[in-house]
Amino acid sequence: MMRKRLIVVSLLVAVALGAANQKKLPKPGWPNFFSKEQDVAMGREYAQQIEQQFQVVQNKELTDYVNRIGQRLVKEGGLEEYPFFFKVVNEPSINAFALPGGPMFVHTGLIKAADNEAQIAGVLAHELSHVVLRHGTQQASKSQLIQLPAMIGGAVMGGSLAGQLAQLGIGLGANSVLLKFSRSAESDADLMGAHTMAKAGYNPIEMARFFEKLEAEMGGKGQSAMAQFMSDHPNPGNRVKSIEEQLPYMARGPFEAQEGNLSAIKGMVDRLPAAPKKKSPQQASQQGQGSGASPLPNAPRPKNLPVSATFKTYDSQGFSITYPDNWTPTGSQQNVTLAPKEGMVQSQIGYGAIVSGAAPADGKVDLQRDTRTLIEGMIKQNSNMRQEGESQTANIGGSAALVTKCSSDSPFAGTRETDVVVTIDRGKTLIYLIFISPEADYARMEPVFQEMTRSLRFK
Ligand code: ZN
């Protein structure tokens, strides 16, 4: 009787303490220049690289088991918006990783290290959260604020996204921004993963226990076997306590989910042939970096490229802009390329416009400084680019703006192009438009660009 009462009291205390700080479920953050579709396309491409470099386990019982756990989390957690799949790879190190858009790989070493099924579910739920919260591409966006938008805008039109990203050094290499998370991303993935576990009938505490156990063992001889996992998923501090505090707000058990017999599964892992001696996928995929650049074909400049006088409206979350109706918008809400098909040379824009934005690290736009950074970034990427004269001040849609003219080599053979960069101070965000046309056609294109600039509206 006494005992029961104590439990009731401590539960009340937990609820009372928790009530003060129920944490909101995290959402995908900004900036992220990639669309969800690009996350998925990129993940597929990287997954192929991984599968070539790794021995994917073919044992059906073993892979079915991991898939049942994964799909249970996806379904019960309501995470069906991404095409998740789960593969087991024959690697003794304790690791698991999810690529943007959903492909997930679990090392056999991780299965062997787990004390119970909930701990495996914990790693999967944590990784699923990184995917749904789009941490990989968000970090890539943060680290490459300037170069990335133009590049992926172009990549949509043709060529492989991973190939384009490789040019910026974004691959699956060691410490890849796609797989190495910040502490705040970690606590978000813990929180969301814990909710997902609870919904699926797994005790969320087991996720934190497993991470803490791995970390505790890192000092010992297990170090090399799992250093990668703990360095990719740094401890945000007191994982068990953080989850315990949020337990009152999670689905209540019973936490009895069971998709199979873990000790039998571990036996199967033991009977697998020895893992092949291979580099870690992260080392191995570095070899692929830098090889994905699409060659520049020597396409001539199209003569009399038709430009429709009828304009359409492109509507995004943050802005709207009009464009000639024979152009096609591609890209994401935060980064759109507007160009005619004939204006593209593979992934490069010969005629067209890019609308994108960047958030300065200090949280506030300094128009002069950020414009300089943007232009310098572009010049760094295109050695033949140069600024033509001083930036001119302007007022666009009620916001202070600068207009900077540049010139560079056109993707059309033997042609120079004019690049007009319009930067707009929107407080926390620098919105920029880049208008691109071969020099010889600029006089004809300028009214189109001016009309587009005039039509720009912010929401
Ligand atoms: Zn993580």
**Res 306: pLDDT:** 82
Ligand 1 centre to CA of 170 (Å) is 19
Which tokens go with 211? 């991470």
Ligand 1 centre to CA of 90 (Å) is 21
pLDDT band at 144 (very low <50, low <70, confident <90, very high): low
Q: Which of 128-132, 308-312, 345-349 is modeled with the greatest confidence?
A: 128-132
Looking at the domain assignment, is residue 340 inside a domain? yes
Ligand 1 centre to CA of 361 (Å) is 23
The string of pLDDT tens digits covering residues 337-358 is 888 888 876 557 788 898 887 7
**Mean pLDDT value across residues 111-130:** 97
Ligand 1 centre to CA of 186 (Å) is 5
Ligand 1 centre to CA of 102 (Å) is 14
Task: Answer yes or no: is pLDDT of 102 > 70.
Answer: yes
**Res 31: pLDDT:** 78
**Res 157: pLDDT:** 45
Domain harbouring 377, CATH code: 3.40.1000.10
The dihedrals phi and psi of 352, each to the nearest 5 degrees, come to 145, -165
Residues 6+ apart with CB under 8 A from 115: 210, 213
The string of pLDDT tens digits covering residues 399-418 is 999 999 999 888 787 888 89
**Mean pLDDT value across residues 131-140:** 92
Ligand 1 centre to CA of 345 (Å) is 39
Structure-token match 């950074």, residue found: 373
Looking at the domain assignment, is residue 13 inside a domain? no
Looking at the domain assignment, is residue 266 inside a domain? yes
Looking at the domain assignment, is residue 41 inside a domain? yes
pLDDT band at 334 (very low <50, low <70, confident <90, very high): low
Looking at the domain assignment, is residue 156 inside a domain? yes
Looking at the domain assignment, is residue 288 inside a domain? no
Contact of 313 with 307, CB cutoff 8 Å: no
Task: Considering only residues 66 and 227, tell me which one the structure prediction assigns the higher pLDDT.
Answer: 66
Which of the listed residues 270, 303, 324 is the one where a domain comes to its end? Answer: 270
Looking at the domain assignment, is residue 6 inside a domain? no
**Mean pLDDT value across residues 312-339:** 83
pLDDT band at 2 (very low <50, low <70, confident <90, very high): very low
CA 269 to chain centre: 32
Residues 36 and 185 in one domain: yes
Longest dimension (CA), the chain: 91
Task: Answer yes or no: is pLDDT of 12 > 70.
Answer: no
Residues 399 and 261 in one domain: no
Which of the listed residues 244, 270, 296 is the one where a domain comes to its end? Answer: 270
Model's pTM, two decimal places?
0.61
Ligand 1 centre to CA of 189 (Å) is 6
pLDDT band at 17 (very low <50, low <70, confident <90, very high): very low
Task: Considering only residues 31 and 16, tell me which one the structure prediction assigns the higher pLDDT.
Answer: 31
| Rounded distance between C-alpha atoms, residue 48 and residue 56, angstroms | 11
Ligand 1 centre to CA of 97 (Å) is 9
**Res 282: pLDDT:** 45
Task: Considering only residues 403 and 222, tell me which one the structure prediction assigns the higher pLDDT.
Answer: 403
- Domain span at residue 94 reads 20-270
Ligand 1 centre to CA of 179 (Å) is 8
Ligand 1 centre to CA of 183 (Å) is 8
Residues 352 and 224 in one domain: no
Number of domains observed in the structure of the chain = 2
Task: Considering only residues 197 and 281, tell me which one the structure prediction assigns the higher pLDDT.
Answer: 197
Looking at the domain assignment, is residue 92 inside a domain? yes
Which of the listed residues 270, 298, 329 is the one where a domain comes to its end? Answer: 270
Ligand 1 centre to CA of 259 (Å) is 24
The dihedrals phi and psi of 103, each to the nearest 5 degrees, come to -65, 135
Ligand 1 centre to CA of 242 (Å) is 15
**Mean pLDDT value across residues 305-313:** 89
Ligand 1 centre to CA of 188 (Å) is 9
Ligand 1 centre to CA of 449 (Å) is 44
**Res 215: pLDDT:** 83
Nearest Cα residue to 61 out of 274, 276, 273, 267 = 267
**Mean pLDDT value across residues 280-299:** 40
Task: Considering only residues 143 and 291, tell me which one the structure prediction assigns the higher pLDDT.
Answer: 143
Ligand 1 centre to CA of 130 (Å) is 7
Give the lowest-confidence range in 111-115, 178-182, 278-282. 278-282
